[in-house]
């Protein structure tokens, strides 16, 4: 094994040495050569590659052992052989240069294998290949088909012969049940009946069985790898020692969600993004400003960006693509001591459940819109928040948000109720904790569930002065209201139905139905005192309403939703007012505008404040590094009750002292001008 130093990660997903502890500088060399090309790799020179990588301060490289086409980049008789043994040539040179090598293994795409074995293909109930957004390849079945054994043999062939530091899996996630011959047979052998043709009819135990078979593929792969390389790590989209998710600019909120979820699950996390504008196979490098922005957002949570670098089909590198990587990694190296192995300092918690799929591309598209809407609002409001499951100690948080969280166990309900009873504040929306007949939190909320609204939209009337702050004094349209019955809660807002439901036969976009002046009003937003704490209930998806219109993906094009999402600014103000009703003293306050992310961490006895300027990466007006958008005059104050005595404040990595003062139990800072990001250290 190479002599590359590894650092132990406290709280990692497995008790292992993990290279992702202290170095966050990784590159993915994206060899992916279509089978139509035969004479490839003739100009591969490992020493040139390693020279460029070392010069750019790269510490870990992901390089192909097998790509989506099924082409293999190591010496093997299993699969389509590349012209030269890339892995065998690259490994010794990389290790001599102090660089770790984690071969890339395409699990879920292998066109060569399923081209020779069509029966290995994942299919739906009709026998067709499922259509998934972004897929250009068919997927082999790793739940039941003989492809499992074939892939295991490929792994064993590689790890038994090559001194690798780990394996990086890609694509092989569990999406839906497979209906290939092998899955049908395995299911019938297990349950004595055919697998339901409609996936929605699949019983829980049937789904759990298929998922366990999927997981068994990786369990056996892990056993094979550890047999030959006990210290090797597994990463990528289905790894055991870290998790990797693809998310590109300009979806900075999505990148932040990935990093926060990784931190919440205590999993070393990387976000993969190509170094090129045109994708994983391009040479048109993103400007250093943009790469630094993506990396800064990840560093704020102790995660990192894995940058993709494309070679020529001949195997030769393009030296020009390393110029920006070198510039950015030089900066990353200088701030790594302030970014690794940190813990968050937060006063707000946003609960997530397993519907937030960490393996998803762009998880903010896949996650429930109510959750992502609150995530975006909290970011823009500069609130310090963690993602929590709800079963941990919640006492350190001043506010817990349950954003339409319907999947909540009895133990979590009890823990959250005790949190509120002891003085915590709870914000609940929509159908959170709904059972068959009522809310599990009905006593905490002071309301009971009656029914879903009989129209899919209605009009909201704000009665409370705090909730109405900075909002127009007009009825505001909402979607999918919930009818409730008060049981001790105070009514802060009501709703009324329109005169008729909207449909294209009786209405147009110029004639939206309005409520009658004498319409009946129903309770919509309520406040209840429970023990020493408070619970605010909102009877519609206010988080989804506040989600920025340009970020919304995959919603039905119904008229009410189109109307609603055009008014996201108003609902962001409402979310701000809802939070202000419960959270009187914020941990961090700033005059920074929305779009500037603030994250406060702790490392040993230091507090590290990150500010990240998303505006510099605007999709339509990217700063090019020549005339960057620079932020000046920003002020930040931090509640001194939450941080230790302060003796020094300085910027990192240059360690320039920053003037500060203490006033009204708060630490007040003037942030020096910056363009992409600022790292402020408080001792």
Q: Which domains does the chain have, with CATH numbers?
A: 7-339 (3.20.20.80), 348-582 (3.40.50.880), 588-682 (2.60.40.1180)
- The per-residue pLDDT for 556 is 36
- The per-residue pLDDT for 7 is 33
614-632 pLDDT per residue, tens: 999 887 777 777 788 899 9
- The per-residue pLDDT for 22 is 61
Ranges of the chain with pLDDT below 70: 1-22, 38-39, 131-136, 354-366, 502-511, 548-567
Encode burial over 332-363: b for 16+ CB neighbours within 10 A, e otherwise.
beebbebbbbbebbbbbbbbbbeebebbbbbb
The 3-class secondary structure across 514-576, one letter per residue, is CCCCCCCCEEEEEEEEECCEEEEEECCCHHHHHCCHHHCCCCCCCHHHHHHHCCHHHHHHHHH
Q: Name residue, tokens 């009750």.
A: 641
- The per-residue pLDDT for 348 is 98
- The per-residue pLDDT for 219 is 94
d(CA 186, CA 46): 45
- The per-residue pLDDT for 508 is 53
- The per-residue pLDDT for 251 is 83
What are the structure tokens assigned to 553, written together? 């993906």
| Nearest-5° Cα angle at 200, 199 to 204 | 90
Neighbouring CB atoms inside 10 A of 91's CB total 23
Contact 416, 441 (CB under 8 A): yes
- The per-residue pLDDT for 2 is 34
Contact 607, 643 (CB under 8 A): yes
DSSP string, 374-387: HHHHHHHTT--EEE
d(CA 531, CA 411): 19
d(CA 251, CA 272): 12
2-18 pLDDT per residue, tens: 333 333 333 333 333 34
- The per-residue pLDDT for 13 is 39
- The per-residue pLDDT for 509 is 53
Q: Name residue, tokens 């104050």.
A: 637
Between strands 385-388 and 348-351, the pairing is parallel
Nearest partner of 341 among 606, 677, 60, 15, judged by Cα: 606
């Amino acid at each position: 094994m190479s002599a590359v130093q590894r650092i132990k990660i406290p709280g990692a997903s497995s008790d292992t040495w993990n290279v992702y502890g202290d170095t966050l500088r990784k590159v993915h060399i994206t060899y992916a050569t279509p089978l139509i090309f035969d004479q490839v790799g003739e100009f591969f020179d490992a020493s040139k590659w390693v020279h460029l990588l070392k010069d750019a301060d790269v510490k870990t490289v992901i390089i192909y052992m097998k790509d989506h086409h099924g082409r293999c980049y190591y010496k093997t008789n299993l699969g389509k052989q590349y012209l030269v043994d890339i892995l065998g040539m690259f490994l010794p040179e990389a290790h001599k240069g102090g660089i770790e090598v984690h071969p890339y293994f395409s699990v879920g795409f292998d066109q060569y294998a399923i081209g020779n074995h069509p029966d290995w293909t994942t299919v739906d109930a009709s026998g067709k290949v499922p259509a998934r957004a972004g897929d250009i390849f068919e997927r082999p079945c790793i739940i039941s088909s003989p492809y499992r054994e074939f892939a295991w043999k490929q792994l064993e062939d590689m790890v038994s012969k090559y001194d690798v530091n780990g394996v990086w899996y890609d694509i092989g996630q569990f999406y839906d049940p497979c209906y290939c011959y092998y899955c049908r047979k395995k299911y019938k052998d297990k349950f004595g009946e055919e697998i339901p043709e409609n996936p929605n009819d699949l019983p829980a135990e049937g789904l759990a069985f298929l998922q366990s078979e999927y997981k068994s593929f990786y369990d056996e792969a892990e056993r094979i790898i550890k047999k030959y390389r006990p210290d090797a790590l597994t990463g990528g989209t289905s790894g055991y020692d870290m998790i990797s998710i693809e998310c590109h600019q300009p979806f900075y909120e999505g990148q932040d969600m990935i990093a926060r979820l990784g931190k919440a699950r205590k999993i070393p996390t990387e976000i993969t993004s190509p170094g090129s504008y045109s994708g994983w196979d391009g040479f048109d490098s993103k400007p250093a400003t943009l790469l630094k922005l993506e990396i800064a957002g990840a560093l704020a949570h102790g995660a990192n960006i894995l940058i993709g670098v494309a070679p020529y089909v001949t195997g030769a590198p393009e030296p020009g693509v390393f110029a920006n990587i070198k510039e950015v990694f030089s900066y990353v190296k200088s701030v790594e001591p302030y970014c690794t192995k940190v813990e968050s300092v937060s006063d707000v918690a946003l609960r997530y459940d397993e519907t937030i799929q960490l393996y998803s591309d762009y998880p903010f598209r896949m996650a429930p819109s109510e959750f992502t809407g609150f995530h975006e609002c909290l970011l823009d409001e500069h609130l310090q928040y963690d993602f929590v499951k709800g079963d941990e100690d919640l006492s350190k948080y001043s506010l817990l948000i349950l954003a339409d969280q319907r999947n909540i166990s009895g133990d979590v309900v009890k823990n959250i109720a005790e949190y509120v009873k002891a003085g915590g504040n709870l914000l609940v929306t929509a159908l959170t904790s709904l059972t068959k007949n009522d809310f599990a939190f009905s006593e905490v909320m002071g309301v009971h569930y009656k029914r879903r609204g009989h129209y899919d939209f209605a009009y909201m009337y704000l009665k409370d002065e705090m909730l109405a702050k900075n909002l127009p004094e007009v009825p505001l349209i909402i979607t999918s209201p919930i009818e409730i019955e008060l049981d001790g809660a105070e009514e802060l807002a009501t709703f009324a139905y329109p005169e008729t439901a909207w449909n294209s036969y009786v209405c147009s976009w110029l004639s939206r139905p309005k409520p009658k002046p004498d319409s009946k009003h129903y309770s919509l937003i309520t406040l209840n005192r429970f023990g020493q704490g408070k619970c605010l209930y909102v009877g519609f998806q206010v988080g989804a309403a506040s989600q920025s219109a340009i970020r919304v993906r995959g919603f039905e094009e119904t008229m009410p939703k189109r109307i609603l999402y055009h008014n996201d600014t108003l609902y962001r103000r409402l979310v701000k007012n809802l939070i202000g009703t419960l959270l009187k003293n914020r941990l961090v306050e700033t005059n920074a505008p929305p779009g500037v992310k603030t994250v406060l961490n702790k490392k040993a006895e230091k507090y590290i404040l990150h500010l990240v300027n998303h505006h510099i990466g605007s999709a339509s007006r990217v700063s090019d590094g020549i005339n960057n958008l620079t932020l000046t005059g920003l002020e930040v104050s931090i509640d001194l009750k939450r941080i230790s005595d302060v003796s020094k404040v300085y910027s990192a990595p240059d360690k320039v002292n920053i003037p500060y003062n203490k006033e009204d139990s708060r630490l007040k800072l003037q942030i020096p001008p910056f363009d992409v990001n600022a790292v402020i250290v408080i001792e």
